[in-house]
């Protein structure tokens, strides 16, 4: 019997991880609720000054999305590492880089995409106009996959390490800073009436670079973890 094609194997990995995420809805809701709570606390704390809310809103929402992304990373490979699935993926006659990309895509669909969908509702709290809300969605649509790709490398590097959660944050937070700066900057530029094209272009460049290098680095780190 011939083994499935690479694309079929990749699709199977994505479907499996999405079904697993749906079976653990509490974990998905934890990430989403954390995002909503963190972003909602700031308007309550700083008051109802519309100008102040508009100025801090993009940064607050992006920081909340970044922290929520980190919160979800611990589950990316830990379950498969514990039950031996990662060893089977490493031994499979397919590119581990491609399979790792499938797991990252499933992780973003389960945890990153809901943040993109909910973000405009949170932006209303900060008195962002319609154009700024659209740019907010666009920036998160480009930025959150980059966060997942970078975070996957850190999650693989710290797999099985005692205190890996704290170490993971220390490893990836410096790499998240450029995405945070240009993601929030795109929304701020749009809210100020300036063009956000340059910021979004840079976010797109970050995403393409991460797509090229992050799955390979993740696969290398996973092989080290399972050996």
Over pLDDT 70: what percentage of the chain?
96
Cα-only R_g, the chain: 18
- Give the pLDDT confidence of 150-206 residue by residue, as tens digits: 999 988 888 867 666 678 888 888 999 999 999 999 988 887 778 788 899 999 999
pTM listed for this prediction:
0.89
- Give the pLDDT confidence of 1-10 residue by residue, as tens digits: 455 677 777 7
Question: Which pLDDT score, from 0 to 100, does residue 213 have?
Answer: 92
Average pLDDT, the chain: 85
Question: Which pLDDT score, from 0 to 100, does residue 2 have?
Answer: 52
Domain layout of the chain by residue ranges: 6-226
Distance CA 34, CA 139 (A): 20
The larger pLDDT score, comparing residue 78 to residue 68, is at 68
Question: Which pLDDT score, from 0 to 100, does residue 182 have?
Answer: 93
Distance CA 180, CA 143 (A): 8
- Give the pLDDT confidence of 30-59 residue by residue, as tens digits: 888 999 998 888 888 877 777 888 888 888
Of 67-71, 100-104, 191-195, 219-223, least confident by mean pLDDT is 191-195
């Amino acid at each position: 019997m011939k083994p499935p094609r690479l694309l079929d194997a990749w699709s199977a990995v994505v479907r499996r991880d999405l079904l697993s995420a749906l079976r653990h809805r509490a974990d998905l809701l934890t990430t989403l609720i954390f995002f909503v709570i963190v972003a909602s606390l700031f308007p309550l704390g700083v008051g109802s000054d519309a100008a102040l809310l508009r100025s801090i809103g993009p940064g607050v929402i992006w920081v909340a999305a970044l922290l929520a992304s980190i919160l979800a990373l611990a589950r990316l490979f830990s379950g498969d590492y514990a039950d031996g699935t990662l060893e089977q993926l490493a031994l499979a006659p397919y590119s581990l880089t491609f399979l790792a990309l499938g797991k990252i895509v499933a992780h973003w669909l389960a945890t990153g995409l809901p943040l993109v969908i909910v973000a405009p509702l949170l932006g209303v709290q900060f008195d962002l106009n319609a154009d700024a809300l659209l740019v907010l969605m666009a920036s998160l649509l480009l930025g959150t996959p980059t966060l997942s790709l970078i975070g996957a490398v850190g999650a693989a590097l710290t797999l099985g390490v005692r205190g890996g959660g704290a170490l993971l944050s220390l490893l990836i937070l410096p790499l998240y800073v450029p995405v945070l700066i240009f993601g929030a900057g795109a929304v701020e530029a749009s809210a100020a009436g300036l063009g956000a094209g340059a910021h979004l272009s840079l976010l797109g460049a970050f995403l393409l670079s991460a797509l090229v290098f992050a799955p390979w680095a993740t696969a290398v780190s996973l092989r080290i973890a399972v050996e």
